[in-house]
Structure 1
Amino acid sequence: MAVNHYENFPVASILLPARLRPAVRDLYAFARGADDLADEGNASPQARLDALETWRAAIQDIGSHRTIRAPLSPEDRAMFERLSGTIAQHGLPIQPFLDLLSAFTQDLSVVSYDDEPALLDYCRRSANPVGRLMLHLFGATSMDDLAQSDAICTGLQRVNFCQDIALDQAKGRCYVPLDCLARHEVTLPGLQGLCAAPPQQVPAAWQAVLREQAEQARRSLLTGSPLAWRLPGRIGLELRLVVHGGLRILEKLAAGQYNPFTDRPILTRRDGFLLCWRALRRPRPAIDFPSHHES
Protein backbone atom coordinates (compact mmCIF):
# COMPACT_ATOMS: atom_id res chain seq x y z
CA MET A 1 0.00 0.00 0.00
CA ALA A 2 1.21 3.52 -0.79
CA VAL A 3 0.14 6.82 0.69
CA ASN A 4 -1.08 8.40 -2.52
CA HIS A 5 -3.69 9.07 -5.19
CA TYR A 6 -6.82 9.41 -3.05
CA GLU A 7 -6.34 5.95 -1.60
CA ASN A 8 -6.51 7.62 1.81
CA PHE A 9 -10.27 7.79 1.38
CA PRO A 10 -11.53 5.16 3.84
CA VAL A 11 -13.75 3.67 1.10
CA ALA A 12 -16.04 0.96 2.47
CA SER A 13 -13.85 0.65 5.55
CA ILE A 14 -15.28 -1.47 8.33
CA LEU A 15 -14.39 1.45 10.59
CA LEU A 16 -16.89 3.70 8.83
CA PRO A 17 -20.51 3.75 9.99
CA ALA A 18 -22.54 1.85 7.41
CA ARG A 19 -24.82 4.86 6.89
CA LEU A 20 -21.89 6.93 5.58
CA ARG A 21 -20.24 4.38 3.29
CA PRO A 22 -22.35 5.24 0.20
CA ALA A 23 -21.57 8.94 0.66
CA VAL A 24 -17.84 8.26 0.99
CA ARG A 25 -17.94 6.11 -2.14
CA ASP A 26 -19.62 8.99 -4.01
CA LEU A 27 -16.99 11.49 -2.84
CA TYR A 28 -14.22 9.09 -3.76
CA ALA A 29 -15.70 8.48 -7.22
CA PHE A 30 -15.67 12.23 -7.88
CA ALA A 31 -12.13 12.84 -6.61
CA ARG A 32 -10.72 9.72 -8.22
CA GLY A 33 -12.48 10.39 -11.51
CA ALA A 34 -11.45 14.05 -11.71
CA ASP A 35 -7.84 13.15 -10.93
CA ASP A 36 -7.92 10.56 -13.72
CA LEU A 37 -9.24 13.16 -16.17
CA ALA A 38 -6.09 15.19 -15.54
CA ASP A 39 -3.58 12.33 -15.42
CA GLU A 40 -4.70 9.06 -16.96
CA GLY A 41 -5.12 7.87 -20.53
CA ASN A 42 -3.93 9.42 -23.78
CA ALA A 43 -6.22 12.44 -24.11
CA SER A 44 -4.72 15.72 -25.30
CA PRO A 45 -4.26 18.57 -22.80
CA GLN A 46 -7.17 20.43 -24.39
CA ALA A 47 -9.43 17.40 -24.17
CA ARG A 48 -8.52 17.01 -20.49
CA LEU A 49 -9.23 20.69 -19.87
CA ASP A 50 -12.58 20.46 -21.65
CA ALA A 51 -13.54 17.40 -19.59
CA LEU A 52 -12.65 19.12 -16.31
CA GLU A 53 -14.63 22.19 -17.36
CA THR A 54 -17.63 19.95 -18.05
CA TRP A 55 -17.33 18.51 -14.55
CA ARG A 56 -17.05 22.03 -13.13
CA ALA A 57 -20.28 23.00 -14.89
CA ALA A 58 -22.01 19.92 -13.48
CA ILE A 59 -20.90 20.76 -9.92
CA GLN A 60 -22.06 24.35 -10.36
CA ASP A 61 -25.45 23.09 -11.54
CA ILE A 62 -25.70 20.96 -8.40
CA GLY A 63 -24.67 23.90 -6.22
CA SER A 64 -27.35 26.09 -7.84
CA HIS A 65 -30.00 23.38 -7.38
CA ARG A 66 -30.45 23.09 -11.14
CA THR A 67 -30.88 20.04 -13.31
CA ILE A 68 -27.43 19.00 -14.49
CA ARG A 69 -27.14 20.47 -17.98
CA ALA A 70 -23.49 19.66 -18.67
CA PRO A 71 -22.88 17.25 -21.61
CA LEU A 72 -21.79 14.22 -19.59
CA SER A 73 -21.36 10.61 -20.61
CA PRO A 74 -24.08 8.28 -19.26
CA GLU A 75 -21.61 6.87 -16.71
CA ASP A 76 -20.52 10.31 -15.51
CA ARG A 77 -24.11 11.55 -15.38
CA ALA A 78 -25.07 8.63 -13.15
CA MET A 79 -22.10 9.40 -10.87
CA PHE A 80 -23.08 13.08 -10.63
CA GLU A 81 -26.69 12.24 -9.91
CA ARG A 82 -25.60 10.03 -7.02
CA LEU A 83 -23.24 12.76 -5.86
CA SER A 84 -26.04 15.34 -6.04
CA GLY A 85 -28.13 13.21 -3.70
CA THR A 86 -25.21 12.84 -1.28
CA ILE A 87 -24.54 16.59 -1.30
CA ALA A 88 -28.20 17.34 -0.58
CA GLN A 89 -28.58 14.64 2.07
CA HIS A 90 -25.52 15.71 4.05
CA GLY A 91 -25.56 19.44 3.32
CA LEU A 92 -22.08 19.34 1.83
CA PRO A 93 -20.50 22.60 0.63
CA ILE A 94 -19.77 22.97 -3.08
CA GLN A 95 -16.50 24.87 -2.79
CA PRO A 96 -14.32 21.83 -1.92
CA PHE A 97 -15.40 20.16 -5.17
CA LEU A 98 -14.54 23.29 -7.14
CA ASP A 99 -11.20 23.52 -5.35
CA LEU A 100 -10.33 19.95 -6.36
CA LEU A 101 -11.18 20.69 -9.98
CA SER A 102 -9.09 23.87 -9.81
CA ALA A 103 -6.05 21.89 -8.64
CA PHE A 104 -6.47 19.19 -11.30
CA THR A 105 -6.83 21.88 -13.97
CA GLN A 106 -3.66 23.53 -12.68
CA ASP A 107 -1.79 20.25 -13.14
CA LEU A 108 -2.34 20.60 -16.88
CA SER A 109 -0.26 23.78 -17.08
CA VAL A 110 1.85 24.17 -13.92
CA VAL A 111 4.71 21.70 -13.65
CA SER A 112 6.73 23.22 -10.78
CA TYR A 113 6.33 25.57 -7.80
CA ASP A 114 8.60 28.48 -7.00
CA ASP A 115 8.34 28.37 -3.23
CA GLU A 116 6.60 26.98 -0.17
CA PRO A 117 3.53 29.31 -0.31
CA ALA A 118 2.85 28.30 -3.92
CA LEU A 119 3.07 24.61 -3.06
CA LEU A 120 0.86 25.01 0.01
CA ASP A 121 -1.76 26.82 -2.08
CA TYR A 122 -1.81 23.83 -4.42
CA CYS A 123 -2.18 21.45 -1.44
CA ARG A 124 -5.01 23.64 -0.13
CA ARG A 125 -6.97 22.85 -3.27
CA SER A 126 -5.71 19.38 -4.21
CA ALA A 127 -5.73 17.66 -0.80
CA ASN A 128 -7.46 19.65 1.92
CA PRO A 129 -10.96 19.54 0.34
CA VAL A 130 -11.05 15.77 0.86
CA GLY A 131 -10.66 16.11 4.62
CA ARG A 132 -13.14 18.97 4.82
CA LEU A 133 -15.80 16.95 3.02
CA MET A 134 -15.21 13.99 5.33
CA LEU A 135 -15.54 16.22 8.40
CA HIS A 136 -18.85 17.57 7.08
CA LEU A 137 -20.16 14.01 6.87
CA PHE A 138 -19.35 13.57 10.56
CA GLY A 139 -20.56 17.02 11.62
CA ALA A 140 -17.10 18.01 12.91
CA THR A 141 -16.68 21.45 11.38
CA SER A 142 -15.32 23.74 14.09
CA MET A 143 -12.46 26.02 13.08
CA ASP A 144 -9.99 23.80 14.95
CA ASP A 145 -11.39 20.68 13.29
CA LEU A 146 -11.04 22.14 9.80
CA ALA A 147 -7.58 23.64 10.40
CA GLN A 148 -6.20 20.37 11.78
CA SER A 149 -7.80 18.38 8.97
CA ASP A 150 -6.11 20.71 6.50
CA ALA A 151 -2.77 20.09 8.19
CA ILE A 152 -3.22 16.31 8.00
CA CYS A 153 -4.27 16.39 4.34
CA THR A 154 -1.42 18.70 3.37
CA GLY A 155 0.97 16.45 5.27
CA LEU A 156 -0.29 13.36 3.45
CA GLN A 157 0.02 15.16 0.12
CA ARG A 158 3.60 16.07 0.93
CA VAL A 159 4.37 12.50 1.95
CA ASN A 160 3.06 11.53 -1.49
CA PHE A 161 5.36 14.08 -3.14
CA CYS A 162 8.38 12.59 -1.36
CA GLN A 163 7.30 9.04 -2.09
CA ASP A 164 6.47 9.62 -5.75
CA ILE A 165 9.08 12.14 -6.86
CA ALA A 166 10.23 9.85 -9.69
CA LEU A 167 6.65 9.06 -10.81
CA ASP A 168 5.78 12.76 -10.85
CA GLN A 169 8.92 13.54 -12.83
CA ALA A 170 7.82 10.98 -15.43
CA LYS A 171 4.73 13.18 -15.88
CA GLY A 172 6.95 16.24 -16.24
CA ARG A 173 6.11 17.59 -12.78
CA CYS A 174 8.13 18.50 -9.71
CA TYR A 175 6.46 19.17 -6.36
CA VAL A 176 9.63 20.16 -4.55
CA PRO A 177 9.69 23.98 -4.35
CA LEU A 178 12.33 25.44 -6.63
CA ASP A 179 13.72 27.62 -3.84
CA CYS A 180 14.38 24.44 -1.83
CA LEU A 181 16.31 23.00 -4.77
CA ALA A 182 18.28 26.24 -5.03
CA ARG A 183 19.14 26.20 -1.31
CA HIS A 184 20.75 22.80 -1.74
CA GLU A 185 22.32 23.66 -5.10
CA VAL A 186 20.47 21.04 -7.09
CA THR A 187 18.55 21.47 -10.34
CA LEU A 188 15.60 20.05 -12.23
CA PRO A 189 17.96 18.57 -14.87
CA GLY A 190 19.70 16.83 -11.96
CA LEU A 191 16.36 15.35 -10.91
CA GLN A 192 15.74 14.17 -14.45
CA GLY A 193 19.14 12.48 -14.41
CA LEU A 194 18.37 10.69 -11.13
CA CYS A 195 15.10 9.41 -12.52
CA ALA A 196 16.67 8.29 -15.81
CA ALA A 197 19.47 6.36 -14.09
CA PRO A 198 18.55 5.83 -10.42
CA PRO A 199 21.68 5.44 -8.30
CA GLN A 200 22.04 3.07 -5.38
CA GLN A 201 23.28 6.02 -3.31
CA VAL A 202 21.50 9.35 -3.77
CA PRO A 203 23.85 12.38 -3.77
CA ALA A 204 24.06 14.12 -0.40
CA ALA A 205 22.47 17.30 -1.75
CA TRP A 206 19.39 15.39 -2.92
CA GLN A 207 19.20 13.56 0.38
CA ALA A 208 19.13 16.98 2.07
CA VAL A 209 16.33 18.14 -0.24
CA LEU A 210 14.17 15.12 0.52
CA ARG A 211 14.99 15.23 4.22
CA GLU A 212 13.76 18.82 4.33
CA GLN A 213 10.58 17.97 2.43
CA ALA A 214 9.96 14.94 4.67
CA GLU A 215 10.35 17.10 7.76
CA GLN A 216 7.78 19.55 6.43
CA ALA A 217 5.38 16.67 5.76
CA ARG A 218 5.91 15.19 9.21
CA ARG A 219 5.40 18.49 11.01
CA SER A 220 2.18 19.05 9.10
CA LEU A 221 0.87 15.60 10.03
CA LEU A 222 1.74 16.11 13.68
CA THR A 223 0.26 19.62 13.73
CA GLY A 224 -3.05 18.13 12.62
CA SER A 225 -2.84 14.97 14.72
CA PRO A 226 -4.81 16.29 17.74
CA LEU A 227 -7.92 15.94 15.56
CA ALA A 228 -7.33 12.20 15.22
CA TRP A 229 -7.24 11.83 19.02
CA ARG A 230 -10.17 14.20 19.57
CA LEU A 231 -12.69 12.66 17.17
CA PRO A 232 -14.60 9.87 18.86
CA GLY A 233 -15.07 6.24 17.96
CA ARG A 234 -14.30 4.65 14.65
CA ILE A 235 -13.65 7.84 12.67
CA GLY A 236 -10.98 8.84 15.20
CA LEU A 237 -9.34 5.44 14.89
CA GLU A 238 -9.54 5.60 11.09
CA LEU A 239 -7.85 9.00 11.11
CA ARG A 240 -5.14 7.85 13.52
CA LEU A 241 -4.35 4.98 11.16
CA VAL A 242 -4.08 7.43 8.26
CA VAL A 243 -1.78 9.77 10.20
CA HIS A 244 0.43 6.93 11.36
CA GLY A 245 0.48 5.54 7.82
CA GLY A 246 1.95 8.79 6.56
CA LEU A 247 4.47 8.91 9.38
CA ARG A 248 5.48 5.32 8.69
CA ILE A 249 6.17 6.11 5.03
CA LEU A 250 8.47 8.92 6.18
CA GLU A 251 10.27 6.54 8.52
CA LYS A 252 10.83 4.16 5.63
CA LEU A 253 12.05 6.99 3.43
CA ALA A 254 14.65 7.90 6.06
CA ALA A 255 15.64 4.26 6.57
CA GLY A 256 16.23 4.03 2.82
CA GLN A 257 18.62 6.99 2.95
CA TYR A 258 16.11 9.21 1.14
CA ASN A 259 16.32 7.22 -2.09
CA PRO A 260 12.75 6.83 -3.44
CA PHE A 261 14.24 6.43 -6.92
CA THR A 262 15.26 2.81 -6.29
CA ASP A 263 13.54 2.16 -2.94
CA ARG A 264 10.08 3.73 -3.08
CA PRO A 265 8.62 3.34 0.42
CA ILE A 266 5.29 1.54 0.68
CA LEU A 267 3.26 0.05 3.50
CA THR A 268 3.16 -3.73 3.84
CA ARG A 269 0.91 -6.07 5.81
CA ARG A 270 3.55 -6.15 8.53
CA ASP A 271 3.32 -2.38 8.75
CA GLY A 272 -0.44 -2.75 9.17
CA PHE A 273 0.00 -4.48 12.52
CA LEU A 274 2.41 -1.77 13.65
CA LEU A 275 0.01 0.99 12.60
CA CYS A 276 -2.87 -0.63 14.48
CA TRP A 277 -0.76 -0.80 17.63
CA ARG A 278 0.29 2.82 17.28
CA ALA A 279 -3.27 3.99 16.55
CA LEU A 280 -4.65 2.21 19.61
CA ARG A 281 -2.12 3.48 22.12
CA ARG A 282 -3.20 6.66 23.86
CA PRO A 283 -0.25 9.09 23.63
CA ARG A 284 -0.15 11.31 20.60
CA PRO A 285 3.17 11.40 18.73
CA ALA A 286 5.34 14.31 19.85
CA ILE A 287 5.68 17.29 17.54
CA ASP A 288 9.40 17.02 16.94
CA PHE A 289 11.56 15.48 14.27
CA PRO A 290 13.81 12.91 15.89
CA SER A 291 17.07 11.81 14.33
CA HIS A 292 16.22 8.14 14.90
CA HIS A 293 13.27 6.24 13.46
CA GLU A 294 11.23 3.61 15.24
CA SER A 295 11.30 0.22 13.54
Structure 2
Amino acid sequence: MTGRRSDPVGVDAVHSENFPVALRILPARLRADLLAAYRYARYVDDVGDAASGDRAEQLAEVADDVRRLYNGQQPVRDEVAGLAPVIDRCALPIDPLLRLVDANMKDQEVSRYETFDDLLGYCRLSANPVGQIVLQIFDAASPDRIELSDRICTGLQLVEHWQDVAEDYRAGRIYLPARDREQFDVAEQDLEADHASPALRTLVEFETDRALAWINAGAPLVSTLRGWGRIAVSGYVAGGRAAAMSLRRAGYDPLTSTPKPTPRQMATEWLTGIARRPG
Protein backbone atom coordinates (compact mmCIF):
# COMPACT_ATOMS: atom_id res chain seq x y z
CA MET A 1 0.00 0.00 0.00
CA THR A 2 2.99 2.29 -0.06
CA GLY A 3 5.34 3.61 -2.67
CA ARG A 4 4.97 5.36 -6.02
CA ARG A 5 4.76 3.90 -9.47
CA SER A 6 3.89 4.72 -13.04
CA ASP A 7 1.33 2.36 -14.55
CA PRO A 8 1.01 1.93 -18.32
CA VAL A 9 -2.70 1.18 -17.91
CA GLY A 10 -3.04 4.92 -17.49
CA VAL A 11 -2.96 5.68 -13.82
CA ASP A 12 -2.02 8.77 -11.89
CA ALA A 13 -1.66 7.26 -8.43
CA VAL A 14 -0.11 8.81 -5.39
CA HIS A 15 0.36 5.34 -3.92
CA SER A 16 0.49 1.87 -5.46
CA GLU A 17 -2.99 0.35 -5.67
CA ASN A 18 -4.72 -2.54 -7.44
CA PHE A 19 -6.88 -0.25 -9.50
CA PRO A 20 -6.64 2.93 -11.56
CA VAL A 21 -7.34 5.99 -9.44
CA ALA A 22 -7.45 8.61 -12.20
CA LEU A 23 -6.97 7.31 -15.72
CA ARG A 24 -4.91 9.71 -17.79
CA ILE A 25 -7.47 9.61 -20.57
CA LEU A 26 -10.13 11.21 -18.37
CA PRO A 27 -10.89 14.91 -18.77
CA ALA A 28 -8.77 17.12 -16.52
CA ARG A 29 -11.66 18.10 -14.23
CA LEU A 30 -12.65 14.49 -13.53
CA ARG A 31 -9.04 13.50 -12.93
CA ALA A 32 -8.58 16.43 -10.56
CA ASP A 33 -11.70 15.52 -8.58
CA LEU A 34 -10.74 11.84 -8.32
CA LEU A 35 -7.20 12.67 -7.24
CA ALA A 36 -8.43 15.16 -4.63
CA ALA A 37 -10.69 12.49 -3.15
CA TYR A 38 -7.90 9.94 -3.33
CA ARG A 39 -5.40 12.22 -1.59
CA TYR A 40 -7.89 12.78 1.21
CA ALA A 41 -8.55 9.06 1.62
CA ARG A 42 -4.81 8.27 1.62
CA TYR A 43 -4.14 11.05 4.09
CA VAL A 44 -6.74 9.68 6.50
CA ASP A 45 -5.20 6.20 6.15
CA ASP A 46 -1.72 7.58 6.74
CA VAL A 47 -2.85 9.33 9.93
CA GLY A 48 -4.48 6.13 11.13
CA ASP A 49 -1.53 3.90 10.19
CA ALA A 50 1.61 5.93 10.72
CA ALA A 51 1.09 9.22 12.54
CA SER A 52 3.16 9.78 15.67
CA GLY A 53 1.36 10.65 18.86
CA ASP A 54 -2.31 10.07 19.60
CA ARG A 55 -3.74 8.86 16.29
CA ALA A 56 -7.34 8.79 17.51
CA GLU A 57 -7.06 12.44 18.56
CA GLN A 58 -5.57 13.39 15.21
CA LEU A 59 -8.30 11.52 13.33
CA ALA A 60 -10.90 13.38 15.38
CA GLU A 61 -9.22 16.60 14.28
CA VAL A 62 -9.47 15.51 10.65
CA ALA A 63 -13.19 14.92 11.09
CA ASP A 64 -13.54 18.36 12.66
CA ASP A 65 -11.67 19.83 9.69
CA VAL A 66 -14.12 18.18 7.28
CA ARG A 67 -17.05 19.61 9.23
CA ARG A 68 -15.33 22.99 9.15
CA LEU A 69 -15.19 22.80 5.36
CA TYR A 70 -18.88 21.96 5.09
CA ASN A 71 -19.70 24.84 7.43
CA GLY A 72 -18.03 27.28 5.07
CA GLN A 73 -14.88 27.72 7.13
CA GLN A 74 -11.27 27.30 5.99
CA PRO A 75 -9.87 23.84 6.80
CA VAL A 76 -6.48 23.50 8.45
CA ARG A 77 -5.29 20.57 6.33
CA ASP A 78 -4.50 20.89 2.64
CA GLU A 79 -5.89 17.41 1.94
CA VAL A 80 -9.26 18.50 3.34
CA ALA A 81 -9.17 21.92 1.68
CA GLY A 82 -8.53 20.18 -1.65
CA LEU A 83 -11.99 18.64 -1.45
CA ALA A 84 -13.73 22.03 -1.75
CA PRO A 85 -13.99 22.00 -5.58
CA VAL A 86 -15.23 18.40 -5.52
CA ILE A 87 -17.93 19.25 -2.99
CA ASP A 88 -19.04 22.28 -4.99
CA ARG A 89 -19.06 20.58 -8.40
CA CYS A 90 -20.40 17.18 -7.38
CA ALA A 91 -22.68 17.89 -4.40
CA LEU A 92 -20.52 15.46 -2.45
CA PRO A 93 -22.19 14.59 0.88
CA ILE A 94 -20.20 14.65 4.09
CA ASP A 95 -21.11 11.12 5.23
CA PRO A 96 -18.67 9.09 3.09
CA LEU A 97 -15.80 11.39 4.06
CA LEU A 98 -16.51 10.93 7.76
CA ARG A 99 -16.95 7.17 7.42
CA LEU A 100 -13.39 6.94 6.14
CA VAL A 101 -12.28 8.59 9.36
CA ASP A 102 -14.47 6.19 11.34
CA ALA A 103 -12.75 3.23 9.66
CA ASN A 104 -9.37 4.44 10.83
CA MET A 105 -10.75 5.11 14.29
CA LYS A 106 -11.81 1.47 14.34
CA ASP A 107 -8.28 0.43 13.37
CA GLN A 108 -7.05 2.07 16.57
CA GLU A 109 -9.35 -0.15 18.63
CA VAL A 110 -9.76 -3.41 16.69
CA SER A 111 -6.90 -5.58 15.42
CA ARG A 112 -8.78 -8.89 15.01
CA TYR A 113 -12.16 -9.81 13.50
CA GLU A 114 -14.13 -12.74 14.86
CA THR A 115 -16.41 -13.37 11.87
CA PHE A 116 -16.63 -12.52 8.20
CA ASP A 117 -19.72 -10.42 8.93
CA ASP A 118 -17.65 -8.40 11.38
CA LEU A 119 -15.12 -7.77 8.63
CA LEU A 120 -17.89 -6.73 6.23
CA GLY A 121 -18.89 -4.10 8.79
CA TYR A 122 -15.38 -2.70 8.64
CA CYS A 123 -15.48 -2.65 4.82
CA ARG A 124 -18.65 -0.55 4.98
CA LEU A 125 -16.56 2.13 6.63
CA SER A 126 -13.16 1.66 4.99
CA ALA A 127 -14.04 0.87 1.37
CA ASN A 128 -17.65 1.45 0.40
CA PRO A 129 -17.58 5.25 0.91
CA VAL A 130 -14.94 5.52 -1.82
CA GLY A 131 -17.34 4.04 -4.36
CA GLN A 132 -20.05 6.52 -3.43
CA ILE A 133 -17.58 9.37 -3.83
CA VAL A 134 -16.61 8.10 -7.29
CA LEU A 135 -20.24 7.84 -8.38
CA GLN A 136 -20.88 11.38 -7.15
CA ILE A 137 -17.94 12.65 -9.18
CA PHE A 138 -19.36 11.04 -12.31
CA ASP A 139 -22.87 12.34 -11.52
CA ALA A 140 -24.07 8.74 -11.43
CA ALA A 141 -24.99 8.17 -7.79
CA SER A 142 -28.32 6.45 -7.15
CA PRO A 143 -29.41 3.96 -4.49
CA ASP A 144 -29.22 1.01 -6.91
CA ARG A 145 -25.79 1.99 -8.21
CA ILE A 146 -24.43 2.65 -4.73
CA GLU A 147 -25.57 -0.84 -3.69
CA LEU A 148 -23.65 -2.39 -6.60
CA SER A 149 -20.67 -0.14 -5.91
CA ASP A 150 -20.62 -1.29 -2.28
CA ARG A 151 -20.20 -4.87 -3.46
CA ILE A 152 -17.29 -3.94 -5.70
CA CYS A 153 -15.59 -1.87 -3.01
CA THR A 154 -16.03 -4.56 -0.39
CA GLY A 155 -14.49 -7.10 -2.75
CA LEU A 156 -11.58 -4.79 -3.52
CA GLN A 157 -10.91 -4.26 0.17
CA LEU A 158 -11.04 -8.00 0.86
CA VAL A 159 -8.60 -8.81 -1.94
CA GLU A 160 -6.21 -6.19 -0.62
CA HIS A 161 -6.42 -7.73 2.85
CA TRP A 162 -5.51 -11.14 1.44
CA GLN A 163 -2.60 -9.70 -0.52
CA ASP A 164 -1.30 -7.92 2.58
CA VAL A 165 -1.61 -10.71 5.16
CA ALA A 166 2.11 -10.57 6.03
CA GLU A 167 2.32 -6.76 6.09
CA ASP A 168 -0.80 -6.45 8.23
CA TYR A 169 0.43 -9.12 10.65
CA ARG A 170 3.72 -7.26 11.11
CA ALA A 171 1.64 -4.17 11.90
CA GLY A 172 -0.25 -6.12 14.56
CA ARG A 173 -3.46 -6.68 12.58
CA ILE A 174 -5.17 -9.81 11.30
CA TYR A 175 -8.09 -9.44 8.92
CA LEU A 176 -8.54 -13.16 8.27
CA PRO A 177 -11.59 -13.82 10.47
CA ALA A 178 -10.90 -15.93 13.55
CA ARG A 179 -13.70 -18.39 12.82
CA ASP A 180 -12.40 -18.94 9.31
CA ARG A 181 -8.90 -19.53 10.67
CA GLU A 182 -10.31 -22.05 13.10
CA GLN A 183 -12.29 -23.78 10.35
CA PHE A 184 -9.16 -24.18 8.20
CA ASP A 185 -6.88 -24.98 11.16
CA VAL A 186 -4.72 -21.88 10.73
CA ALA A 187 -3.10 -20.47 13.88
CA GLU A 188 -1.85 -16.92 14.34
CA GLN A 189 1.70 -18.29 14.50
CA ASP A 190 1.30 -19.57 10.93
CA LEU A 191 1.32 -15.95 9.76
CA GLU A 192 4.87 -15.49 11.07
CA ALA A 193 6.35 -18.00 8.61
CA ASP A 194 8.33 -17.16 5.48
CA HIS A 195 6.02 -19.30 3.38
CA ALA A 196 2.33 -20.11 3.66
CA SER A 197 1.42 -23.53 5.01
CA PRO A 198 -0.93 -25.75 2.99
CA ALA A 199 -3.72 -24.88 5.44
CA LEU A 200 -3.13 -21.14 5.05
CA ARG A 201 -3.06 -21.46 1.26
CA THR A 202 -6.41 -23.22 1.36
CA LEU A 203 -7.84 -20.50 3.59
CA VAL A 204 -6.53 -17.70 1.35
CA GLU A 205 -7.95 -19.48 -1.70
CA PHE A 206 -11.34 -19.65 0.02
CA GLU A 207 -11.22 -15.98 1.00
CA THR A 208 -10.02 -14.89 -2.46
CA ASP A 209 -12.88 -16.70 -4.15
CA ARG A 210 -15.27 -15.03 -1.74
CA ALA A 211 -13.80 -11.59 -2.46
CA LEU A 212 -13.99 -12.19 -6.20
CA ALA A 213 -17.64 -13.16 -5.82
CA TRP A 214 -18.31 -9.78 -4.19
CA ILE A 215 -16.57 -7.97 -7.05
CA ASN A 216 -18.47 -9.95 -9.67
CA ALA A 217 -21.77 -9.36 -7.85
CA GLY A 218 -21.23 -5.63 -8.18
CA ALA A 219 -19.74 -5.67 -11.69
CA PRO A 220 -23.13 -5.15 -13.43
CA LEU A 221 -22.71 -1.54 -12.27
CA VAL A 222 -20.39 -1.03 -15.24
CA SER A 223 -23.15 -1.72 -17.78
CA THR A 224 -25.42 0.90 -16.15
CA LEU A 225 -22.83 3.61 -16.72
CA ARG A 226 -21.91 5.52 -19.84
CA GLY A 227 -18.91 7.45 -21.05
CA TRP A 228 -16.12 8.29 -18.66
CA GLY A 229 -17.87 6.75 -15.66
CA ARG A 230 -18.04 3.37 -17.36
CA ILE A 231 -14.39 3.55 -18.35
CA ALA A 232 -13.22 4.46 -14.86
CA VAL A 233 -15.37 2.02 -12.87
CA SER A 234 -14.48 -0.84 -15.20
CA GLY A 235 -10.88 -0.08 -14.26
CA TYR A 236 -11.65 -0.64 -10.58
CA VAL A 237 -13.37 -3.94 -11.34
CA ALA A 238 -10.45 -4.98 -13.54
CA GLY A 239 -7.95 -4.16 -10.82
CA GLY A 240 -9.77 -6.33 -8.31
CA ARG A 241 -10.06 -9.26 -10.69
CA ALA A 242 -6.41 -8.97 -11.67
CA ALA A 243 -5.39 -8.87 -8.01
CA ALA A 244 -7.39 -12.02 -7.31
CA MET A 245 -5.65 -13.71 -10.23
CA SER A 246 -2.27 -12.63 -8.86
CA LEU A 247 -3.07 -14.45 -5.63
CA ARG A 248 -3.97 -17.53 -7.64
CA ARG A 249 -0.72 -17.36 -9.60
CA ALA A 250 1.18 -17.09 -6.31
CA GLY A 251 -0.40 -20.31 -5.13
CA TYR A 252 -2.39 -18.32 -2.57
CA ASP A 253 0.80 -17.64 -0.63
CA PRO A 254 0.80 -14.04 0.66
CA LEU A 255 3.78 -14.60 2.97
CA THR A 256 6.64 -15.26 0.53
CA SER A 257 5.92 -11.94 -1.18
CA THR A 258 2.95 -9.65 -1.76
CA PRO A 259 1.09 -10.93 -4.83
CA LYS A 260 0.45 -8.05 -7.25
CA PRO A 261 -0.89 -7.99 -10.81
CA THR A 262 1.34 -6.70 -13.56
CA PRO A 263 0.29 -3.69 -15.66
CA ARG A 264 -0.30 -6.03 -18.62
CA GLN A 265 -2.61 -8.23 -16.56
CA MET A 266 -4.53 -5.19 -15.34
CA ALA A 267 -4.82 -3.87 -18.89
CA THR A 268 -6.18 -7.20 -20.13
CA GLU A 269 -8.83 -7.30 -17.42
CA TRP A 270 -9.70 -3.64 -18.02
CA LEU A 271 -10.21 -4.05 -21.77
CA THR A 272 -12.29 -7.16 -21.15
CA GLY A 273 -14.44 -5.26 -18.67
CA ILE A 274 -15.01 -2.38 -21.09
CA ALA A 275 -16.29 -4.79 -23.74
CA ARG A 276 -18.36 -6.96 -21.41
CA ARG A 277 -22.08 -6.12 -21.67
CA PRO A 278 -23.43 -7.44 -18.36
CA GLY A 279 -20.54 -5.91 -16.36
TM-score (norm 2): 0.88
The code of the aligned residue for 2:33 comes to A
Deviations 1:193-228 (A, max 9, x none): 32xxx12xx322112211111011101000000011
Does the 8 Å contact 1:15/1:238 carry over to 2? no
1:136-215 matches, within 5 Å, as 136-191=136-191, 193-194=192-193, 198-199=194-195, 202-215=196-209
Deviation at 1:4, TM superposition (A): 12
Separation in 1, partners of 2:135, 2:223? 14
Separation in 2, partners of 1:12, 1:224? 20
Distance 1:153 1:234, change over 3 A: same
Deviation at 1:79, TM superposition (A): 3.3
Deviation at 1:87, TM superposition (A): 1.2
Deviations 1:81-126 (A, max 9, x none): 3323421332110000110000011111210111112101100000
Deviation at 1:283, TM superposition (A): 4.6
Does the 8 Å contact 1:241/1:276 carry over to 2? yes
The code of the aligned residue for 2:227 comes to G
Segment drifting more, 84-93 vs 51-60: 84-93
Separation in 2, partners of 1:272, 1:180? 29
SS of residue in 1 equivalent to 2:173: coil
Determine if the alignment matches structure 1 residue 55 to structure 2 residue 62: yes
Distance 1:271 1:230, change over 3 A: same
**Aligned residue number for residue 279 of structure 1:** 273
Separation in 2, partners of 1:6, 1:128? 19
Separation in 2, partners of 1:221, 1:117? 16
Determine if the alignment matches structure 1 residue 26 to structure 2 residue 32: no
Distance 1:86 1:216, change over 3 A: same
The code of the aligned residue for 2:28 comes to A
Percent identity of equivalent pairs: 32
Distance 1:210 1:141, change over 3 A: same
Deviation at 1:182, TM superposition (A): 1.1
Deviation at 1:172, TM superposition (A): 0.4
Separation in 1, partners of 2:43, 2:16? 10
**Aligned residue number for residue 100 of structure 2:** 100
Instruction: Give ranges in structure 2 of 5+ residues lacking alignment.
Output: 8-12
Separation in 2, partners of 1:4, 1:67? 27
Separation in 2, partners of 1:8, 1:184? 27
Deviation at 1:248, TM superposition (A): 1.7
Distance 1:31 1:214, change over 3 A: same
Q: Which has the larger radius of gyration?
A: 1
Instruction: Give ranges in structure 1 of 5+ residues lacking alignment.
Output: 286-295
**Aligned residue number for residue 254 of structure 1:** 248
Deviation at 1:9, TM superposition (A): 6.9
**Aligned residue number for residue 243 of structure 1:** 237
Does the 8 Å contact 1:115/1:180 carry over to 2? yes
Separation in 1, partners of 2:18, 2:242? 14
Deviations 1:228-269 (A, max 9, x none): 122112321222222122112212212222111114221223
Distance 1:8 1:91, change over 3 A: farther
Does the 8 Å contact 1:6/1:32 carry over to 2? no
Separation in 2, partners of 1:177, 1:150? 20
TM-score (norm 1): 0.83
